[in-house]
Chain A
Amino acid sequence: MTDKYQFTEDGFLLSRRRFMAVGAAILALLALPVGWLGNRIAKRNEYIKARADALYMDDAIAKYRVSHANPAIARYYSEFGGEPLGHLSHELLHTHFVDRTKLKS
């Protein structure tokens, strides 16, 4: 075959309108997944933030925000438990750690 060619495609075959439509479709096809992914990344902590906001909101509107202001706790100590960190309270309320990691294996 010779180095030169004798035939080629007849210029650009698409109309301007068609070119713009197909070109726009290509750009949209590229932009949509990139935009979707960027949006997912930008909103990746939204659930955690919403949960934290809800906890802070619950705290802000709570009637009793500290345990020593809770009348039920005060009544427990006055009528039953004696005093905070007392012997009975320690027996009843103190929790003990039990290593159960061996149970997993």
Chain B
Amino acid sequence: MHQDNRPILKHPLNVRVFHYILLLSFLPLAATGLLLFFKPLSDSAMGLTYDIHIVAGVIMALDAVAFTLMAFDRVVLFTNRVFTFGGNDVGWFKVLGGYPQKFLLGKKVAVPPMRKYNSGQKLFGVCVLLGGTALIITGLALWLVPYAIPRDTAWLLGMIHLGCGLLLTAFLPVHLFLAVYRFDDFKAMMLHGKVPYHDAAEYTPLWVQEEVVPVSSKHAE
């Protein structure tokens, strides 16, 4: 059967650059964060782990601040998207996007049509927005002004940092697995930003129908 491979720009360059820096900073942050929590290494190795955690954390904080300042419209658009929930999202969660049936039973079930992000991605987006913001604020405070913070507040910030870190780290393997499974979207985010029309029409039909339009060649990259 003929597949419609006409490209749709899904992830613009600034989003891809932001995502790359986020990826390269969060992976060491998650690994060193777990090491700092369980403390399995020698004192000097734990010191090095701490230094790596700080450097990666500063990179992630700068990435988030820079993207928020330079692409505030994309941040607003993303926030609006991930915080918009409706009946289709309830239906999506009832079948969990059809992924368990597909992976475990080899069955294909009907999934409610989605916009640019499916309901699971939206839930992940909410966790990244809120949890990532909390991680950055608490991490910077605990690193920069630990002795100026009252003891009970410092303990609370530490717990928030730990909880959000563990939550986002728990999401990470799921995100990586599903990202690679949706290989066209994976290539779009990691390489050229574009998904083929048939892939977008299959997984994000409402986005294609209501938000995607043809462009003239002079606007194309």
Give A20's nearest chain B residue, CB to CB: B76
Q: Are B6 and A6 in contact (CB under 8 A)?
A: yes
Chain B residues 187-221 with CB under 8 Å of chain A are 192-194, 196-197, 211-215, 217, 219-221
Within the complex, which residue of A2, A6, A34 is in contact with B214, where a contact is CB–CB below 8 Å? A6
A40 CA / B157 CA spacing, docked (Å)? 12
Q: Are A7 and B197 in contact (CB under 8 A)?
A: yes
A contact set with B: CB distance below 8 Å: 1-10, 12-14, 18-19, 22-23, 25-26, 29-30, 33-34, 37, 40-41, 44
Using C-beta atoms within 8 Å of the partner chain, give the interface range for chain B: 35 or more
- The 23 listed contacts between A and B (C-beta, < 8 Å) are A1-B192, A1-B196, A2-B7, A5-B7, A5-B9, A5-B193, A5-B221, A6-B6, A6-B7, A6-B214, A7-B9, A7-B214, A8-B8, A9-B211, A9-B212, A12-B73, A14-B80, A22-B76, A22-B79, A26-B79, A29-B130, A37-B137, A41-B150
Q: A5-B194, A14-B76, A29-B133 are in contact. Are A40 and B220 (CB under 8 A)?
A: no
Within the complex, which residue of B7, B8, B76, B193 is in contact with A19, where a contact is CB–CB below 8 Å? B76
**Which residues does chain B contribute within 8 Å of A41, judged by CB atoms?**
145, 148-150, 153
**Which residues does chain A contribute within 8 Å of B153, judged by CB atoms?**
37, 40-41
What 12 additional pairs, Cβ within 8 angstroms, besides A8-B9, A37-B157, A41-B153? A1-B192, A3-B221, A5-B9, A5-B194, A5-B220, A7-B212, A8-B212, A10-B211, A13-B211, A29-B133, A34-B137, A44-B150
Chain B residues 56-105 with CB under 8 Å of chain A are 72-73, 75-77, 79-80, 83
Q: Are B77 and A7 in contact (CB under 8 A)?
A: no
**Which residues does chain B contribute within 8 Å of A2, judged by CB atoms?**
7
Give B73's nearest chain A residue, CB to CB: A12
**Which residues does chain B contribute within 8 Å of A8, judged by CB atoms?**
8-9, 212-213, 215, 219
